[in-house]
Amino acid sequence: MANPKATCETNLGTFTVELFADKMPLTAGNFVKLAKSGFYDGLHFHRIIDNFMIQFGCPHSRDAASSRAGTGNGPDGCIEDEFPPEQKISNEVGTLSMANTGSPNSGSSQFFINTKHNDFLDWFNKGTPSKHPVFGKVVEGWDIVEKLSTTPTGHGDCPKTPMQMIKVSVTD
């Protein structure tokens, strides 16, 4: 059975991600559930750091100017960290990774797309305290992700011009 894909329609264009439900069922399943409920529709990218990552999924980012953007969780709260020893997927360019506070089991609705290889964020990297499980990868529309990643930012790495996710549609 093929992994689900999510089509992400933004105000700059559309990109598609494959969700690794076969390798990361809890984390990918959480994303699918949120996307199918419409949770992500209308939110804004609230943190963009060129040559690092773009972050998305905070419910407070519905208002692009909210000072609380980056601090919220999904309606079901946090999920358990998913670190299966047989699935050591690195935070390579184009991968989706669960954002968290740094504390165990603090991931929820926020995720980021790596725009460079950020192996220091790998949960299995013994040289870093960061632990971010990868649960998907951009498979189409990388040019749109690149446009998002080079958007000028201001205070707190927030885009100066709002970058909105219009709709996320999942196909199984």
Q: Which of 19, 30, 31, 55 is catalytic?
A: 55
The C-alpha atoms of residue 99 and residue 88 are separated, in whole angstroms, by 17
For the question of residue 164 being annotated catalytic, the response is: no
For the question of residue 68 being annotated catalytic, the response is: no
For the question of residue 125 being annotated catalytic, the response is: no
For the question of residue 46 being annotated catalytic, the response is: no
Q: Which of 15, 19, 43, 47 is catalytic?
A: 47
Phi, psi of 27 (to 5 degrees): -70, -45
For the question of residue 132 being annotated catalytic, the response is: yes
Q: Which of 30, 73, 91, 100 is catalytic?
A: 100
The C-alpha atoms of residue 137 and residue 171 are separated, in whole angstroms, by 15
Q: Which of 114, 132, 135, 164 is catalytic?
A: 132
Q: Which of 19, 43, 121, 148 is catalytic?
A: 121
Instruction: Pull the structure tokens for residue 68.
Output: 């609380």
State how beta strands 95-98 and 134-140 pair. antiparallel
Helix, strand, coil shares of the chain, percent, nearest 5, are 20, 30, 55
For the question of residue 52 being annotated catalytic, the response is: yes
Q: Which of 52, 83, 87, 124 is catalytic?
A: 52
DSSP 52-82: TEEEE--GGGGSTT-TTTTS---TT--B---
Q: Which of 56, 111, 112, 135 is catalytic?
A: 112
**Which residues are designated catalytic?**
47, 52, 55, 100, 112, 121, 132
